[in-house]
Amino acid sequence: MNSSISSPHLNNNGHSPQQENAHSGECTISSFEIDAETIAHRSELYQIWKTLFENDRSAKIIEHPDYLLLELEQYLRKNSSLPPAFVLLYQQEGKPIAAAVLIPKEINTKRAGAFLYTPRLQGYRLAGDRLLGEESVESTQKLFSEIHHILQKQKSHFLLIEDLEKESSLREVAQQLQGCQLFSPTGLQERLRLELPPTLEEYWKTFSSKRRYNLKRERKILEKKGAVTLKRIDSVEQVACFLEDAHQVSLKSWQTRQLGLRVGTSDADLQTYTFLASAGALRSYLLYLDNEPIAFMIGHQYNGVFHYEEVGFDSDYAKFSPGKALLVAGLEDIYSENKPTWFDFGLGDADYKRQMSNHHSQSGMLWIVPAGFKNRIVMRWLKTCRAMKCIARNLLQSTGLFRRLRQIIRRSKGGK
């Protein structure tokens, strides 16, 4: 049953030191700062925000107000000088219809492909990479227009949408924004999903007999090494031990060597995963060999979608393909209880994702960059760096060196 939403009557004694309205007939856009008082007292804005979330059947758990307020609280502990977060409400005849939530974000341009000149940029990310509530062309246009206004007022360098589909209406509206330029550090990438067939047997029948045989053979090779056990983590009581074991595996993974630590055991990590578990959304896995953790899969499930976030394995066991064994075992468990409609592999292409998925699209990271002298300089430099790297890559490919370098890097990671 949907909850009703009443019009917000908010003032400076409630939650928000700032409210700005842009009227268009019977439609209103209001922007509200999320401050420490909002976090502490769960204001009227919070109640409206939460109701929009609960009524949105496409919402992701990472859009829940409690999840985002917890994230903001953790940010504020580290850096109290961060710019404010915002909730933007689109209303019709006084009734909240849709919302955009902007979370402060800092980006090192080195990670976006820059070299030599690598400034750090301050901006925002769009929570959930989407609008909350009933999305329409009008609501999207008006909310994005207000986002542009906030970026200019806060002197922000960008709005980050971390994963945006090529055919998304958000992308169309972003392309039409006046006074902004778009930049995609990743470009468009394959976005792979699995629409789960009714039964596990039907799913395996989509594989060739040779592929099914190889999967069974790889599992048997691992089982000959010792007793293999799968553990599902979905309760609050399991969170602390899960983080300890996943952290232990993460320290020995190629991802940590190449990209930095993937799983921590801080109070912030504990709070985040505890929230997911308490909301009934945590669904992660550990694979054990003779009671020792050798692989982990971090994921959550909400509104019929399992989100595959992170996987890692102990590089000492790389030749036994523990990551693949965990994925197969996890899929079997997903079919055994509370089966979702979709298994979302997330951003990024990989052979195993292609083999396991049945739905392909394209998506990528997008920056919406407001006009400004520094922004123009940074964007030109980022595009120049990308062009130079593309030329170097093409030269290496033409000489055959690119393939050899990639093989060397893969061997150094200890993966396959």
State pLDDT tens for residues 283-334: 999 999 999 999 999 999 999 999 999 999 999 999 999 999 999 999 999 9
Architecture of the domain delimited by 19-190: 3-Layer(aba) Sandwich (3.40)
Instruction: Please tell me the distance from the alpha carbon of residue 169 to that of residue 25, in angstroms, as a whole number.
Output: 23
Phi-psi bin for 155: left (phi > 0), alpha (psi -120 to 50), beta? left
Angle at 356 between CA 355 and CA 360, to 5 degrees: 80
When pLDDT is cut at 50, 70 and 90, the band that residue 403 belongs to is low
Tokens of 102: 């902007």
> Would you state the structure tokens that stand for residue 69, as one six-digit string?
């307020």
Average pLDDT, the chain: 89
Given phi > 0 = left and psi -120 to 50 = alpha, else beta, which region is 55? Answer: alpha
Burial environment of residue 288 by CB neighbours within 10 A (0 to 12, 13 to 18, 19 or more): middle
Confidence of residue 249 (pLDDT cuts 50, 70, 90): very high
Q: Check residue 345 and give its pLDDT.
A: 96
- The class (CATH top level) of 197-340 is alpha beta
Distance between CA atoms of residues 113 and 383, nearest Å: 9
Who wins on pLDDT, 142 or 14? 142
Helices (H) and strands (E) in the chain, counts: 14, 15
pLDDT in tens, 339-395: 999 999 998 888 899 999 999 999 999 999 999 999 999 999 999 998 998 888 788
Q: How many CB atoms lie within 10 A of CB 5?
A: 21
* Tokens of residue 242, six digits: 């899960």
| Position 61 pLDDT exceeds 90 | yes
Regarding predicted confidence, which is higher, 263 or 344?
A: 344
| Model confidence pLDDT, tens digit, residues 159-210 | 999 999 999 999 999 999 999 999 999 899 999 999 999 999 999 999 999 9
Evaluate whether 155 touches 301 at the Cβ level (below 8 Å).
no
Q: Which long-range contacts does 72-80 make (Cβ < 8 Å, 24+ apart)? A: 72/34, 72/39, 72/103, 72/104, 73/39, 74/268, 74/271, 75/104, 76/36
Looking at residue 406, its pLDDT comes to 61
3 state SS of 265: coil
Q: What is the pLDDT of residues 220-234, one digit of tens each?
A: 999 999 999 999 999
Q: Report d(CA 168, CA 158) in Å as an integer.
A: 19
Task: For residues 101 and 130, give the distance between their C-alpha atoms in angstroms, rounded to a whole number.
Answer: 9
Where do we find the tokens 């990271």? 365
Q: What percent of the chain has pLDDT over 90?
A: 74
d(CA 230, CA 293): 10
Reading the block at residue 390, the tokens are: 């593309």
DSSP 8-state secondary structure symbol assigned to residue 282: B
